[in-house]
Homo-oligomer: A and B are copies of this chain.
């Protein structure tokens, strides 16, 4: 049962100004001011009721243009090989992306977003509200990322320079 293939259908599509994977910011942190939309298919629009009270929201989406799976990768931020599950690289066994982005507003089945680090045309799988009492984390340990200085992270993260 648990080993069966799992099938999903997109609930909508993400529209952004990012047309090229190699120029797309790697995280919302490096995508400040990048506006875009999540266009939910009309048949799912009822599910958006009351979402407009939340910001940020968590987008789960399919990395539709990711490279084939690799288990060992060099992350964007560092030229050191890491296990793919210790990175956010797209070339994962199941290429699911997670971005926590600002919800600016909703018009019917369209969400207006800010801080969008997602390629234009990306299939959207799910939207979850960020719920402060559930999702706030105290004293996280950031593993290898704690050794990256801010200037390097910013330069490599924006990818537009």
Contacts of A94 in B (CB 8 A): 8-9, 11, 60, 125-126
Chain A at the B interface: SS class: mixed
**Using an 8 Å CB-CB cutoff, how does the interface string of A126-148 with B read, 1 for contact, 0 for none?**
11111111111100111111100
Q: Does A19 contact B (CB under 8 A)?
A: no
Copies of this protein in the complex? 2
Assembly CA distance A129 to B28 (angstroms): 16
Contacts of A56 in B (CB 8 A): 137, 140
Q: Is the Cβ of B131 less than 8 Å from the Cβ of A93?
A: no
Which residues of A are at the interface with B, using a C-beta cutoff of 8 A? 1-11, 13, 27-29, 44, 46-56, 58, 60, 62, 64, 71-72, 81-88, 92-94, 96, 98, 100, 121-123, 125-137, 140-146, 150, 153
Enumerate 12 A-B pairs (CB-CB under 8 Å) in ascending A order: A5-B7, A6-B9, A7-B7, A7-B8, A8-B96, A28-B134, A50-B86, A60-B98, A94-B125, A100-B135, A100-B137, A136-B140
